[in-house]
Amino acid sequence: MTPQLQQAIRLLQLPVAELNTQLEQLLAENVMLDLEEPAPGSGDAPVELDARPPDPAEGGTPDDETPADNWDDADSESPLAAAPAGDEDGESLLWSEASGSGGSWDGEDGRPEPSDRANETLHAHLLWQLETEHFEPREVLMGQALVDAMNDAGYLTEPLPSILETLQKSGDFTLEELEQTLRKVQALDPAGVGARDLGECIRIQLAQLAPNVPGRDLALAITVDGLDLVAEQQLGMLRRRLGVSEEDLDVALALIRNCHPKPGLAVQPSAPDYIVPDVFVRKRHGRWTVDVNRSITPRLKVNQAYADMVRGDSEHATLRNQLQEARWLVRSLEIRNDTLLKVAMCIVDRQAAFLDHGEEAMRPMVLRDVADLVEMHESTISRVTANKYMHTPRGVFEFRHFFSSQVTGDDGSEQSSTAIRARLRKLISQEDPKRPLSDSQLADLLSKQGIQVARRTVAKYREAMHIEPSSERRRRPPR
């Protein structure tokens, strides 16, 4: 492989943030590189290329848009799109989306609410309380050491003996004193800080409830030896271990799910993640088009003035090497954009039904399908689709979202696994809550639609979508 090809492949697999960082570094190191100023009036609008060029016989101009196909261009032009919130550490199995957001314990319904102290870190919030609450001077020193050993989520990351060793430089402290101070720190706001593990964090929050709150004692027992079964959705086994009824267990689990798994984020919320789309997909005059987002990377060019100075001059070998590297880099960026466009056009052409009708219309597609169309190796397509995003009227998706395995129907048609999961989700959403559909019944319903899948395949798809089995989805009739 030539150095130019190696560089093109390396740039091809970089996401936007890393690519921009590397380009800025190369721009600072290579005097032969220069920023290309956009033409007046052009702004940062991406260059539009059609996945399927319109037929002139159909009428209309490239600037015309069918009103029915138009969508919010103001939103589509934004180079930043909020990333969908993902599950972290499997906590979605324990906490709902509402209770997992940043906030503090409000003392009434147990749900977190946003902090009133803007731009304040957790450490500053706790140190402020150490100064204002009833802490003795010795306790303040120990409390500061405990706060310094907490992470942003509010958990104690060092064992107490290690913290005690750091305190010996300031005085003679005992482990018993440190443990007592830790209990006082754990009573500070937000509730749950200073815990050493998830179970202790929840117990601290539950302990602040009144003793007569229904399910409180059972919830405390679950945090001692049952959170693993809750995370694995083994509620039947948990009921047998604790010897309680389904109704009592539901009440206790509701209290646990209303606890904050990361109380420190109530004061110090994590910064939102953003996705920068590499391409935009729109529908114009009845056809899906692909626009390359060229505003997300700096436009580089060879500094022609310096290039003319070293031309034919044998005394400037270093500058000539930089000139060659600059030309390679500019060409590599062109190859990256061209390849990105070709792959995006193939995906849009193949998945036009998904863009029109949703996930149930997703067609099966593998890397080889795109590789054959663009005449590239599958490994190249794999690099292109990794960490590259497409902004569509249906949301922002990674390129790899459009790839899925296939299942052959009774009529010989091919069904995408993504489409099958969408149909499963729809069937489950329409089921009778009192008589939820089992995996076997779901497989039979899909079979009637011409999709032959085994019961274990249905179970695998259902678990991948974090949907409980029928025994857990059954809702009790109102009393």
Residue 68 lies in a domain: no
Residue 321 lies in a domain: yes
Distance CA 444, CA 343 (A): 37
Residue 65 lies in a domain: no
Contact 2, 261 (CB under 8 A): no
Residue 73 lies in a domain: no
Domain identity same for 173 and 52 = no
Domain boundary among 240, 266, 292: 266
b/e code 266-281 from CB counts within 10 Å (16+ = b): bbbeeeeeebbbbbbb
Task: Tell me which residue of 415, 402, 405 sits closest to 447, measured CA to CA.
Answer: 415
Distance CA 459, CA 65 (A): 44
Domain identity same for 410 and 397 = no
Q: What is the pLDDT of residue 347?
A: 92
Q: What is the CATH number of the domain that holds 433?
A: 1.10.10.60
Q: What is the pLDDT of residue 269?
A: 60
At 128, list the tokens: 């402020």
The residues near 316 (Cβ < 8 Å, ≥ 6 apart) are: 309, 310
b/e code 163-200 from CB counts within 10 Å (16+ = b): bbeebeeeeebeeeebeebbebbbebbbbbbbbeebbb
Pseudo-torsion of CA 167, 168, 172, 176, nearest 10°?
50
Residue 78 lies in a domain: no
Domain identity same for 244 and 376 = no
Residue carrying structure tokens 């721009």? 27
Residue carrying structure tokens 């200073």? 194
What DSSP designation does 447 have? H
Domain identity same for 416 and 460 = yes
Neighbours of 218 (CB within 10 A): 18
Fill in the amino acid letter for 446: L
Domain identity same for 379 and 430 = no
Domain boundary among 402, 436, 458: 402
Domain identity same for 187 and 293 = no
Domain identity same for 206 and 228 = yes
Maximum Cα–Cα distance for the chain, whole Å? Answer: 93
Domain range for 37: 3-58+275-402
Residue 84 lies in a domain: no
Mean pLDDT by 10 residues, the chain (479 residues): 72 82 86 74 43 41 38 37 39 38 39 46 86 83 90 90 84 87 90 91 90 90 87 86 88 89 78 80 90 83 82 74 86 88 92 88 87 86 87 90 72 71 87 86 85 84 85 61
Strands (E), 13-125: 33-35, 48-50, 81-82, 104-105, 112-113
Domain boundary among 266, 298, 330: 266
Residue 479 lies in a domain: no
Report the domain count for the chain: 3
Domain identity same for 397 and 414 = no
Distance CA 144, CA 162 (A): 14
Domain identity same for 262 and 134 = yes
Q: What is the pLDDT of residue 389?
A: 92
Distance CA 14, CA 29 (A): 20
Name the pTM for this structure. Answer: 0.52
Domain identity same for 316 and 419 = no
Domain identity same for 296 and 396 = yes
Contact 256, 222 (CB under 8 A): yes
Q: What is the pLDDT of residue 361?
A: 83
Residue 82 lies in a domain: no
Domain identity same for 414 and 379 = no
Distance CA 396, CA 147 (A): 39
